[in-house]
Chain A
C-alpha cells in the first residue's frame, strides 16, 4: 500500500498528490511514469511523474479528473493509500544522456499544455540543477486552469498563454511559439512538448517548420506498462513502437498523431465507459 502524504487542488478537477513510494522515488528520472491502482478492482492507470524526492521517499503525481477512474484517484485523501504504485516506467528523457557542456550549449524550449505542465516540471528542474535555464511555454484554456506556474518560474523562463486571453499571450501555444521565434528573435535547437495529443500534433508541426528537433511524450493506452500487452503501440517513422518500454518520449516529427489519437479513443464507447483511459496520463 502506498500512502498519500499530501494532496492539493491545483485547478478545477486537477489534483496533485505526493505519494510515499520510496523505491520509485529512489529510481525515478525526469520523463518517466508510474502505473497506479486505487483499489483491487481498479484499473491500472499510467501517470507521468511530476516530481520525486528520494530523501523523503515520495513521488508527486498530478491527475485531471476526466472520468470514472481518474475521479476515483482524485477522491482519495491524505492518509489514504493507493493499492499499487509501480514504477518508474518508460525511458528517462533523452536530455539526461547529454553532458553538462552539451546541455549548456543547447537552447531548449518546453511547450506544456493543460496538465502537461506538471510532467514538464521535473525536466526543467533537472536542467536548472545542471545550470541550464530553459524556456517554458505554458498554455491553458483560461487562467484558472494554469497549474505549476509558480513552481516552473523558480526553475525556468516561463511564457504564459491562454486561449481566451485572460492571462499572458492571447492564443494557442503554437501562436506563442511563432511569436518567440519570429517577433522576439529567439532561437531554439531542441523542443520538448507535453500536453494533449492534439496540441502536441500542432506544436510539433510548428517546430518542424523551423527545423527544431522535437520530442513529445505520448500518453497512450496501457494495461501492464511493462511491455507485455502492446496496447500502447504507436507508429513512429513508419514503425510500430511500444510507448511503455521504448517511450514515452518519441521524435515529435515522426509520430503518427492521427493514429495515436484514434487509438486513445478505443474504449470510449465501451460499456464500462471510462473516458480517462483515453487521456490516462496526467498530461492528457
Chain B
C-alpha cells in the first residue's frame, strides 16, 4: 500500500526569513524522510519516469536502493547516467520530466524524484572521501574542454574515467559556468555543492585553467596545433543577453539578468566584504518568465527591493520550474501576467523611473504550441520602478564562431553539432547551450557525456587508421 503514503514534504527555510538572506531555500530530506518517500515508488515495470528523463537515469533502481538504505548503490546507479545528481536534483524541471510522468501523479502526487536524487547526490558528495578514487591508467591522448559548465564538467569527467588526459579551459575566474555565475546561492550552494563536484573532477586527474578565453587567449586551432590536443570539446554556454529593442533600454538602471546575476553570484556583490557593486534600487521589474527571471527577481527581493515579474503570457505558460514560481510567490514577489513592456521611462538624469506596459491576451497557438500573446490595443499603463531587468534569454557568443575556420554555425549563431556532438570540424565536438541555445543543466550534461563517448570513438578510430 505504498501509494497511500502522502508525498513527504520537504523542509524549507521560512519564506519571510529567506527573502532577506542568500542561504539555500530547501533543506532537503533527512535519512528517514528519504526512505519514507522512496517507499512510495511503485517500481513500475515500464518506468514512465525514466522515459521522460533527458539522460534516462534508472530512477526506480536508485529509489529502490534509497528505500533499502543502500545509498552507495543508489549513487552508483545514478552515476551510470548522470554526473551531477546534487545539481540536477535541485535545478531540473522535474514537473515536466520524470515527476511529470510518474504514475502516482495521475491520481495523486508523484514521487519526489528530484528531492531523492538531491539526497543521494549530497550523500555522495559528503562520502566522497570514503570511496577511493580510481584514477585510470592514462592512454596517452589529450583532450581540451572549453568551458567548465555542466556540459564541460560532464564531458571531462567521462573522458578522464576513460583514461584521457583532460584539461578544462575556463574564461572566468571561477569554475562551474552557469552553476556559479547564473544560478543563485539560495538555489544551489556554491561551496557545499558546486565546488565539491569540481573537486571530485580534479581527483580524477582533470586539470583546470581559469582566465583562458577561447577565441581570444587561445583559438580552437591553437588548442589542436600549438597545444597539441587530440580533440576539443566546446561547451562554452549561451552568451550575449537579449534585449527587447524598445525605447529606453539603455537608461541607467536597466540590466540584463546575466549582469545582475553575475554581479550577485560570481562576484558576491550582495556580500559587503566583496568589492563589486550591485544596484537593486527601491522597486525592480523583471521582464520574463523563465528560471533566470525567477532567479533575478528573487535576488532583487533579497537585496531589499520590492520585486515584480512582468510576463507577456499567462501563468500556465511560465517556463520556469513550478517550484521556483511557488517559492517566489511565498517570498512576496508580485506576478503581473499578460503584461508586456513597450517603453522604459527615464527621469531627467537618464535613470529609470518606470516602465510603460500593455495588457496582453492569448490568441491562436504559435509554432511552439503555446497560445501567442496579442496586445490589447489602448491598454497602456505605467509601472513605477527604478530598476528594470531583462531576462529574455541569450544569443550565442560570437568569439569561437568568429575565430574558428570551418566550424559551421546556424543562422542564429549556434554551433552545428549532431546528437553526439560531432561538428563540421574533425576533432572538434560541441554540446550544451553553445549548440542548442539556452536550455537546461541536464541537457547540457547529457550532451557533454554523449560527446565524450563520441570523442573516445573518434580517437580510437584515428588510432586504428594510423596503425594500419
A joins B in a complex: yes
Bound state CA distance, A124 and B415, in angstroms?
37
User: For residue B238, which residue of chain A has the nearest CB?
Assistant: A228
Cβ of A41 within 8 Å of any chain B Cβ, yes or no, is: yes
Q: For B266, list chain A residues within 8 Å (CB).
A: 223-224
User: For residue A239, which residue of chain B has the nearest CB?
Assistant: B245
B172 touches A88 (CB 8 A): no
Q: For B256, list chain A residues within 8 Å (CB).
A: 229-231
User: For residue A277, which residue of chain B has the nearest CB?
Assistant: B277
Q: Which of B135-143, B194-202, B267-275 contacts A (4 or more CB under 8 A)?
A: B267-275
Bound state CA distance, A272 and B283, in angstroms?
19
Q: Which of A9-17, A154-162, A189-197, A263-271 contacts B (4 or more CB under 8 A)?
A: A263-271
Cβ of A44 within 8 Å of any chain B Cβ, yes or no, is: yes
Query: What is the distance, in angstroms, from B155's C-beta to the closest C-beta of chain A?
Result: 20
Residues of A45-69 whose CB lies within 8 A of B: 68-69
Q: For B275, list chain A residues within 8 Å (CB).
A: 41-43, 68-69, 72, 272, 274
Question: Among the interface residues A42, A89, A229, A245, which one has the most CB atoms of the partner chain B within 10 A?
Answer: A229
Query: What is the distance, in angstroms, from A248's C-beta to the closest C-beta of chain B?
Result: 13
A227 touches B239 (CB 8 A): yes
Q: For B253, list chain A residues within 8 Å (CB).
A: 266
Cβ of A262 within 8 Å of any chain B Cβ, yes or no, is: yes
A86-B211, A267-B277 known; A226+B397 contact, CB < 8 A: yes
Bound state CA distance, A242 and B394, in angstroms?
13
Bound state CA distance, A230 and B391, in angstroms?
12
Cβ of B255 within 8 Å of any chain A Cβ, yes or no, is: yes
A27-B217, A43-B276, A223-B263 known; A85+B252 contact, CB < 8 A: no
Cβ of B279 within 8 Å of any chain A Cβ, yes or no, is: yes
B262 touches A87 (CB 8 A): no
A23-B217, A228-B240 known; A223+B267 contact, CB < 8 A: yes
Size category, A interface: 35 or more
A227 touches B398 (CB 8 A): yes
A262 touches B350 (CB 8 A): yes
Q: For B212, list chain A residues within 8 Å (CB).
A: 23, 86
Question: Among the interface residues B173, B181, B398, which one has the most CB atoms of the partner chain A within 10 A?
Answer: B173
Bound state CA distance, A224 and B147, in angstroms?
14
Cβ of B399 within 8 Å of any chain A Cβ, yes or no, is: yes
Query: What is the distance, in angstroms, from A249's C-beta to the closest C-beta of chain B?
Result: 15
Residues of A227-257 whose CB lies within 8 A of B: 227-231, 233-235, 240, 242, 245
Query: What is the distance, in angstroms, from A95's C-beta to the closest C-beta of chain B?
Result: 19
Cβ of A84 within 8 Å of any chain B Cβ, yes or no, is: yes
B181 touches A37 (CB 8 A): no
Query: What is the distance, in angstroms, from B146's C-beta to the closest C-beta of chain A?
Result: 12
Bound state CA distance, A41 and B239, in angstroms?
24
Query: What is the distance, in angstroms, from A256's C-beta to the closest C-beta of chain B?
Result: 8
Bound state CA distance, A284 and B243, in angstroms?
28
Residues of B173-212 whose CB lies within 8 A of A: 173, 181, 210-212
Q: For B269, list chain A residues within 8 Å (CB).
A: 272
A43-B275, A224-B262, A263-B250 known; A229+B241 contact, CB < 8 A: yes
User: For residue A41, which residue of chain B has the nearest CB?
Assistant: B274
Size category, B interface: 35 or more
B399 touches A270 (CB 8 A): no
Query: What is the distance, in angstroms, from B153's C-beta to the closest C-beta of chain A?
Result: 18
Cβ of A129 within 8 Å of any chain B Cβ, yes or no, is: no
Query: What is the distance, in angstroms, from A38's C-beta to the closest C-beta of chain B?
Result: 9
B277 touches A27 (CB 8 A): no
Bound state CA distance, A226 and B211, in angstroms?
11
Q: For A231, list chain B residues within 8 Å (CB).
A: 255-256, 259
A83 touches B241 (CB 8 A): no
Q: For B239, list chain A residues within 8 Å (CB).
A: 227-228
Bound state CA distance, A271 and B172, in angstroms?
25
Cβ of A259 within 8 Å of any chain B Cβ, yes or no, is: yes
B216 touches A263 (CB 8 A): no
Question: Among the interface residues A42, A223, A274, which one has the most CB atoms of the partner chain B within 10 A?
Answer: A223
Cβ of B258 within 8 Å of any chain A Cβ, yes or no, is: yes
Cβ of A24 within 8 Å of any chain B Cβ, yes or no, is: yes
Partner of A88, one of B216, B272, B277: B216
Query: What is the distance, in angstroms, from A37's C-beta to the closest C-beta of chain B?
Result: 6
B181 touches A228 (CB 8 A): yes
Q: For A235, list chain B residues within 8 Å (CB).
A: 250
Cβ of B213 within 8 Å of any chain A Cβ, yes or no, is: yes
Contact indicator per residue, chain B 37-73, by CB within 8 Å of chain A (1) or not (0): 0000000000000000000000000000000000000
Q: For B213, list chain A residues within 8 Å (CB).
A: 86-87, 89, 226
B218 touches A27 (CB 8 A): yes
Query: What is the distance, in angstroms, from A123's C-beta to the closest C-beta of chain B?
Result: 18
Q: For B277, list chain A residues within 8 Å (CB).
A: 267, 270-274, 277
Cβ of B249 within 8 Å of any chain A Cβ, yes or no, is: yes
Cβ of B417 within 8 Å of any chain A Cβ, yes or no, is: no
Q: For A230, list chain B residues within 8 Å (CB).
A: 240-241, 243, 255-256, 258-259
Q: For A262, list chain B residues within 8 Å (CB).
A: 252, 349-350
The 4 A-B residue pairs with the shortest CB-CB distance, nearest first, are: A229-B259, A86-B211, A230-B256, A270-B277
**A-B residue pairs in contact (CB < 8 Å), sample of 13:** A24-B217, A37-B173, A44-B276, A86-B212, A86-B213, A87-B213, A223-B259, A224-B181, A229-B241, A229-B259, A231-B256, A262-B349, A267-B277
Q: Which residues of B contact A (CB under 8 A)?
A: 171-173, 181, 210-213, 216-218, 239-241, 243, 249-250, 252-253, 255-256, 258-259, 262-263, 266-269, 272-279, 349-350, 397-399
Q: Which residues of A contact B (CB under 8 A)?
A: 23-24, 27, 32, 37, 41-44, 68-69, 72, 83-89, 223-224, 226-231, 233-235, 240, 242, 245, 259, 262-263, 265-267, 270-274, 277
